[in-house]
């Protein structure tokens, strides 16, 4: 069993194995969902939660798509507006979707986890925040000491807003930063000072938030090693509990706002790698634990503890401590995970409103996982979350002979094993320290859909 938690940054290996691939917030990935899985299918699975008297606790996700201004790097499903009439209407329909999903629900309505994402959830006024949480509490029970998180834009939030969020029950906050360098901020149209960011984090600590996470992006226009080192110094001064360090994928052909970025300002591939190497060194020297992919956390953080105890999980919000939950998602483009299924909502406001007006759940597409999907999902989760896989536990849980079932995959892993990315033993597959940054590429070997479809251009690079 591989108990090492360190990380080795090998530039040559990264260049060799840095391929396009999914981030595995789900398996199968959302691009494999089908329209044959519809509202009726979701209703049936919501009802089945109560069968047998045992049902999982719930995790709730709400997609708030509105933003006051556009950040040029952003690839999220968002609507740029300053008109709060639009959010008022959206919340009315969101309340209807909450009521409709709850009415279909078998089993417990106890909620262990809740997350507001976007867009910019703090686009909502104080009154609208109250309204949304009242709708939630009308139909669900938020358990004491649950994990209730929200994404925050510090440019639009003051102490009073943070205090309101705490009073509404939120206890975790994710703060968008990306980079503190002013020329980088101007190039991506997100000008945000160190002072206003620190004010929000300080307010979260004063008002009792358990954890503050900070998002950074490497590979943005005008970034260089020296300027990003200064950003890291400022981040470490604030000392968030968790840090997400995302790789910027410049795909202007897919994401219109990215066309406003001057390609000549983009850092070279070498500079981008140097920035990543610097960031990993600075964060780990400061005591942060590398959780996996793009996440770092302090040793006492719940994510780190969950990884140590083998309880870490990966979902649409990244790494999570709540593996056992069914995830109900609300709002445009949001994705639910109920039992062995995924369901994604329609992506535009007009469709969302039209379908809810017909008293139907606004499902666009989804999938019911096969036994093979569930098996491969378990393998990919183990590799992404724990950097190791117990072959025996997979054989017992899924009633297969691993070496026969995955003969082709094991053959494909040999090249990675020779390069020192992983070790394949009789009972374990262990990702080595030099392979941890490339774990997405290792997980891809077990992706049946990718094995049948070598077209990977739609995915971002692993690094």
Residues belonging to the binding site for [4Fe-4S] cluster are 67, 71, 74
CB 439 within 8 A of CB 383: yes
CB atoms within 10 A of CB 195: 8
- How far apart, in Å, are the Cα atoms of 249 and each of 134, 260, 328, 359, 388? 38, 14, 28, 38, 27
Distances (CA, A) of 248 to 13, 197, 220, 275, 459: 20, 21, 6, 12, 12
CA angle 252, 439, 434 (to 5 degrees): 115
Euclidean distance between CA atoms 361 and 100, whole angstroms = 7
Tell whether omega for the bond before 446 is within 30 degrees of 0, i.e. cis: no
Binding residue ranges? 61, 67, 71, 73-75, 118-120, 151, 178, 190, 215, 249, 335
Rounded alpha-carbon distances, angstroms, from residue 305 to 171, 243, 291, 411, 429: 18, 16, 10, 34, 22
Q: How many CA atoms lie within 13 A of 139 on its CB side?
A: 20
What residue numbers does the annotated binding site for S-adenosyl-L-methionine cover?
Answer: 61, 73-75, 118-120, 151, 178, 190, 215, 249, 335
List the one residue out of 56, 24, 50, 111 whose CA is nearest residue 330: 111
Q: What span, in angstroms and rounded, lies between the C-alpha atoms of 330 and 158?
A: 27
In the block, tokens 């190039």 appear at 187
How does strand 428-431 pair with strand 422-424?
A: antiparallel
Give per-residue burial for 264-274: e unless 16+ CB within 10 Å, then b: eebbeeebbbb
Of 250, 295, 243, 291, whose CA–CA distance to 269 is shortest?
A: 250
């Amino acid at each position: 069993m591989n108990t090492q938690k360190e990380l080795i940054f090998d530039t040559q290996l990264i260049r060799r194995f840095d391929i396009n691939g999914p981030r595995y917030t789900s398996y199968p990935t959302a691009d494999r969902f089908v329209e044959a899985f519809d509202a009726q299918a979701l209703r049936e699975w919501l009802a089945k939660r109560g069968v047998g008297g045992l049902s999982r606790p719930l995790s709730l996700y709400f997609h708030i798509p509105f933003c006051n201004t556009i950040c040029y790097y952003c690839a999220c499903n968002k609507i740029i507006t300053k008109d709060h009439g639009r959010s008022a209407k959206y919340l009315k329909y969101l309340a209807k979707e909450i009521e409709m999903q709850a009415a279909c629900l078998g089993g417990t309505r106890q909620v262990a986890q809740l997350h507001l994402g976007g867009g910019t959830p703090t686009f909502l006024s104080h009154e609208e925040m109250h309204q949304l949480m009242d709708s939630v509490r009308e139909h669900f029970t938020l358990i004491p000491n649950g994990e209730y998180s929200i994404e925050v834009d510090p440019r639009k939030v003051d102490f009073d807003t943070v205090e309101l969020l705490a009073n509404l029950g939120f206890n975790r906050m994710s703060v968008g930063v990306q980079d503190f360098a002013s020329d980088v901020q101007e190039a991506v149209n997100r000008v945000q000072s160190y002072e206003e960011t620190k004010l929000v984090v300080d307010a979260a600590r004063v008002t009792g938030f358990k954890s503050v996470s900070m998002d950074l992006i490497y590979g943005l226009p005008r970034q260089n090693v020296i300027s990003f080192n200064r950003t890291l110094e400022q981040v470490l001064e604030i000392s968030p509990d968790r840090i997400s360090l995302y790789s910027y994928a410049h795909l202007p052909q897919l994401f219109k706002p990215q066309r406003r970025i001057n390609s000549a300002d983009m850092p070279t591939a070498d500079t981008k790698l140097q920035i990543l190497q610097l960031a990993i060194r600075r964060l780990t020297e400061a005591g942060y634990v590398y959780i996996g992919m793009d996440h770092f956390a302090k040793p006492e953080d719940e994510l780190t503890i969950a990884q140590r105890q083998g309880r870490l999980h990966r979902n649409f919000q990244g790494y999570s401590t709540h593996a056992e939950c069914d995830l109900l998602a609300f709002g445009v483009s949001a994705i639910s995970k109920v039992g062995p299924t995924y369901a994604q909502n329609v992506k535009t406001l007009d469709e969302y409103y039209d379908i809810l007006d017909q008293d139907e759940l606004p499902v666009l597409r989804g999938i019911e996982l096969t036994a093979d999907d569930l098996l491969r999902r378990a393998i990919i989760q183990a590799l992404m979350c724990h950097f190791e896989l117990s072959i025996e536990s997979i054989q017992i849980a899924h009633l297969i002979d691993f070496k026969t079932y995955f003969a082709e995959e094991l053959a494909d892993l040999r090249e990675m094993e020779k390069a020192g990315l992983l070790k394949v033993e009789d009972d374990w597959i262990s990702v080595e320290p030099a392979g941890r940054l490339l774990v997405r590429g290792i997980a891809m070997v077990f992706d049946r859909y990718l094995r049948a479809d070598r077209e990977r251009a739609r995915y971002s690079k692993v690094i």
